């Protein structure tokens, strides 16, 4: 039997979920929501254990939400099923490199 | 019946979970002597640090204050101060505070007694007397109003905020509800989550203070004109799936539980007997925060990790609770508890929280933690604000 690929959506408004399995492109991840419901999403690329996938399309400049709160700003257009990490998500805090 | 633990009553009314002779160097230059004495005499623990000289006066005062809180910590049944003789810390004030606590103490003065070898010989004799003087003390039963818990998460990954921190939060609520005191800190890891903490403050003034603390920390982080990433989150956090400081912070605050935040404690400030949930003004790095928690009077620290943080403190048991089941399997000699069961859906947060709570009561009563059992104990330094000059 193939191991289930599970991810956790912490709050209903979250547009990313953390995956607790190693996944490859084309794998279908089962995203569990707080209310116990499960949504299946095919992933577009390999995602390491503990890292995030997008649950919805997020435009460049859009807010990425986890725990129902902002965890930063998308730096590229992100599609549902994409891997979300430092290559497409930037912090908006403690940015000494940003001009006021 | 109230939950109890077995500890050592001190003359000032505080209760220890351990019964050590704390060997306290007044300055970094006394570390060698303090360590040599501790190696020779049973139950001695050296509080090695790197401060106490060529610092601005507010930092020197902070170092003295911190050493006083550590020397007066109830896990130190007796204290041996090791002074070089030309340090910037206030040794007289330190000795006065220790005398006032009522515990047995003594001092070794390196320059006055004629150098390192003489100081070590003198210190061994003095430490031996202190060690024997407290060796017959017996544990007695106390309720949790006598307990201060320090909380820390280190080497975090994506499991920390969903598993191990949540189990600690469950325990924090239980302790506060029984009249105990709980401290959490790591102000850097409030950035992006401070509005949630401010809403939990006892008064609007405390809420304002939390926001000011975070603003000061963020301003400090921005002062070098770069992105904070790699400093916070660390490369290990990023490899573990935490992308931004906001994401790390939102997971980090889970370990504070859900109770009202009573106020903010200064870094050297003792919290024993205050009761309730408090913020300790500390940075995120282990060595400085463990010291801040010890200075606050914590008799045990519950420490959450995902990547596998092994740190320990000289006079405190540190319970390691690991949110990542794979790390737990790899590092089970360092990790006390597996909160990875939550991630795997095999246990609930409450179930792992109860296991942690029972381990905590046993640890306070003398049971060893894994790091403690192999003397992993040198994660200590004092958090200073100004430059070395």
Task: Report pLDDT digits (tens) over A13-22.
Answer: 999 999 999 9
B305 touches chain A (CB under 8 A): no
Q: Which pLDDT score is estimated for B67?
A: 98
Find out whether the peptide bond into B233 is cis, omega within 30 degrees of 0: yes
Residues 108-137 of B with CB under 8 A from A: none
Residue B311 pLDDT > 70, yes or no? yes
Gap between the Cα atoms of B358 and A14, Å rounded: 34
Domain ranges in chain A are 6-90
pLDDT at B114: 98
| Mean pLDDT in residue range B53-75 | 97
**pLDDT digits over A27-66, tens only?**
999 999 988 899 999 999 999 999 999 999 999 999 999 9
What pLDDT is stored for residue B231 in this prediction? Answer: 83
Task: Kindly state the average pLDDT of the residues B1-8.
Answer: 93
Encoding tokens for residue B147? 């307990």
A97 closest CB neighbour out of B196, B227, B251: B227
B19 — pLDDT class (breaks 50, 70, 90): very high
Mapped onto helix, strand or coil, the DSSP state of residue A70 is: strand
- Nearest CA among A22, A93, A35, A50 for reference residue B162: A50
- Decide if B300 contacts B317 (C-beta within 8 A): yes
Query: Tokens standing for A51?
Result: 């890292």
Contact list, B244 vs chain A (CB under 8 Å):
71-72, 89-93
Q: Decide: B79 and B46 in contact? Cβ < 8 Å.
A: no
Predicted pLDDT at A2? 61
Could you give the CA distance from residue B295 to residue B257 in angstroms, rounded to a whole number? 22
Q: Supply the pLDDT for residue A94.
A: 85
Burial A31-65 (b: 16+ CB within 10 A, else e): bbbeeeeeeebebbeebebbbbbbbeebeeeeebb
CA distance B244 to A100: 20
Kindly state the average pLDDT of the residues B306-324: 97
Q: What percent of chain B has pLDDT over 90?
A: 94
The pLDDT > 70 percentage for chain B reads 100
What would the two tokens of residue B282 be? 């500390």
Q: What does each C-alpha distance from B98 to B68, B70, B78, B79, B269 come to in angstroms?
A: 7, 10, 9, 8, 15
- Dihedral sign from CA coordinates of B264, B269, B273, B277: positive
d(CA B318, CA B371): 7
Average pLDDT rounded to a whole number, residues B303-331: 97
Partner residue facing B225 (CB), from A52, A86, A96: A96
- Region B156-180: what's the mean pLDDT? 97
**Which residue, chain included where needed, has tokens 């905590």?**
B360
Angle between helix B286-295 and B57-71 (nearest 10)? 60
Give CATH for domain A6-90: 2.30.130.110
Q: What is the residue-averaged pLDDT of chain B?
A: 96
Distance CA B201, CA B148 (A): 19
Residue of A20, A22, A53, A58 to mutate, testing the B interface (most B Cβ within 10 Å of its Cβ): A20
Give the integer Cα–Cα distance in Å for B297 and B58: 22
User: Which of the residues B156, B244, B255, B326 would you substitute to probe the A interface, choosing the one with the greatest number of A C-beta atoms within 10 Å?
Assistant: B244
Say what the pLDDT of residue B166 is: 98
Beta-carbon contacts of A20 under 8 Å, excluding residues fewer than 6 positions away, are A6, A7, A8, A49, A50, B158, B159, B343, B344
Q: Which ipTM value was assigned to this complex?
A: 0.96
State how beta strands B261-265 and B276-280 pair: parallel
* pLDDT given for residue B224 in this prediction: 84
Integer Cα distance of B222 and A93 in angstroms: 9
Closest-CA distance, A99 to chain B, in angstroms, reads 9
- CATH class (in words) of the domain with range B20-134: alpha beta
Q: Tell me the average pLDDT across B7-33.
A: 98
Q: Which two tokens stand for residue A75?
A: 């730096």
Across the interface, whether the CB atoms of A91 and B228 are under 8 A apart is answered: yes
In this prediction, residue B221 carries a pLDDT of: 85
Strand-pairing partners, residue B8, are B16
Output the six-digit token pair for B189: 């890891």
pLDDT confidence bin for B148, thresholds 50/70/90: very high
Distance from C-alpha of B49 to C-alpha of B119, rounded to nearest angstrom: 19
Phi and psi torsions of B58, nearest 5°? -60, -35
Domain B145-373 - what CATH class? alpha beta
Distance (Å) from the alpha carbon of B335 to chain A's nearest alpha carbon: 19
Q: Which helix (H) or strand (E) holds A28?
A: strand A28-32
> Which tokens hold the place of A35?
């209310």
Q: Length of chain B in residues, anyone?
A: 389
Local confidence band at B366 (pLDDT 50, 70, 90 cut-offs)? very high
Q: Are B302 and B151 in contact (CB under 8 A)?
A: yes
- For chain B, which residues make up each domain, given as ranges? 20-134, 145-373
Mean pLDDT of all residues in B61-83: 98
Between chains, do A96 and B244 touch, taking CB under 8 Å as contact?
A: no
Q: Is the dihedral of CA B56, B61, B66, B68 positive or negative?
A: positive
Q: How many other C-beta atoms lie within 10 A of the C-beta of residue A75?
A: 13
Q: What is the pLDDT of residue A100?
A: 62
| DSSP code, position B223 | T
Q: Which residue has the tokens 């007397």?
A: B129
Please, what is the end-to-end C-alpha distance for chain A in angstroms?
55
Mean of per-residue pLDDT scores for chain A: 94
B-chain CB neighbours of A84 within 8 Å are: 243
Cβ-Cβ contacts under 8 Å, A5 against chain B = none
Cα B145 to Cα A15, B8, B230, B271, distances in angstroms: 43, 14, 40, 12
**Arithmetic mean of pLDDT, B177-206:** 96
Segment B196-212 mean pLDDT: 97
Structure tokens at A12: 């209903």
- 3 state DSSP class of B297: coil
Q: What is the pLDDT of residues B245-299, one digit of tens each?
A: 999 999 999 999 999 999 999 999 999 789 999 999 999 899 999 999 999 999 9
- B215 inside 8 A of chain A by CB: no
B213 within 8 A of B281, measured Cβ to Cβ? yes
């Amino acid at each position: 039997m193939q191991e289930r690929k599970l991810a956790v959506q912490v709050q209903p408004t979250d547009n990313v979920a953390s995956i607790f399995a190693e996944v490859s492109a084309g794998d279908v991840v089962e995203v569990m929501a707080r209310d116990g419901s499960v949504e299946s999403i095919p992933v577009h690329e390999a995602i390491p254990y503990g890292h995030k996938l997008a649950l919805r399309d997020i435009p460049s400049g859009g807010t990425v939400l986890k725990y129902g709160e902002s965890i930063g700003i998308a730096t590229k257009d992100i599609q549902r099923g994409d891997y979300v990490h430092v290559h497409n998500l930037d912090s908006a805090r403690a940015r000494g490199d940003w001009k006021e | 019946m109230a939950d109890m633990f077995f500890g050592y009553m001190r003359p000032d009314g505080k209760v220890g979970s351990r019964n050590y002779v704390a060997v306290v160097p007044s300055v970094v230059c006394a570390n060698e002597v303090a360590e040599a004495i501790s190696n020779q005499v049973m139950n001695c623990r050296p509080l090695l640090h790197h401060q106490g000289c060529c610092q601005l006066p507010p930092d020197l005062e902070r170092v003295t204050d911190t050493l006083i809180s550590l020397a007066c910590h109830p896990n130190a049944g007796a204290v041996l101060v090791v002074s070089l003789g030309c340090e910037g810390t206030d040794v007289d004030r330190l000795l006065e505070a220790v005398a006032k606590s009522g515990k047995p103490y003594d001092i070794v003065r390196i320059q006055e007694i004629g150098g390192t070898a003489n100081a070590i010989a003198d210190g061994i004799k003095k430490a031996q007397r202190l060690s024997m003087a407290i060796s017959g003390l017996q544990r007695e039963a106390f309720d949790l109003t006598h307990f201060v818990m320090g909380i820390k998460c280190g080497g975090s990954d994506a499991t920390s905020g969903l598993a191990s921190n949540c189990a600690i939060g469950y325990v924090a609520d239980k302790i506060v509800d029984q009249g105990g005191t709980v401290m959490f800190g790591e102000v850097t890891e409030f950035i992006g989550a401070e509005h949630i903490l401010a809403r939990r403050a006892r008064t609007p003034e405390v809420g304002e203070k939390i926001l000011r603390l975070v603003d000061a920390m963020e301003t400090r982080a921005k002062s070098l004109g770069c992105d904070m990433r790699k400093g916070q989150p660390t490369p290990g956090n990023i490899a573990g799936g935490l992308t931004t400081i906001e994401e790390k912070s939102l997971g980090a605050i889970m370990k504070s539980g859900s109770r009202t935040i009573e106020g903010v404690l200064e870094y050297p400030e003792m919290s024993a007997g205050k009761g309730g949930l408090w913020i300790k003004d500390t940075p995120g790095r282990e060595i400085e925060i463990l010291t801040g928690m010890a200075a606050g009077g914590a008799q045990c620290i519950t420490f959450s990790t995902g990547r596998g943080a092994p740190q320990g403190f000289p006079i405190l048991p540190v319970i390691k609770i690991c949110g990542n089941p794979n790390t737990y399997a790899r590092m089970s000699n360092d990790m006390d508890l597996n909160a990875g069961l939550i991630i795997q859906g095999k246990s609930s947060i409450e179930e792992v929280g109860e296991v942690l709570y029972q381990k905590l009561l046993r640890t306070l009563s003398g049971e060893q933690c894994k790091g403690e059992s192999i003397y992993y104990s040198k994660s200590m330094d004092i958090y200073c604000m100004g430059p070395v000059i």
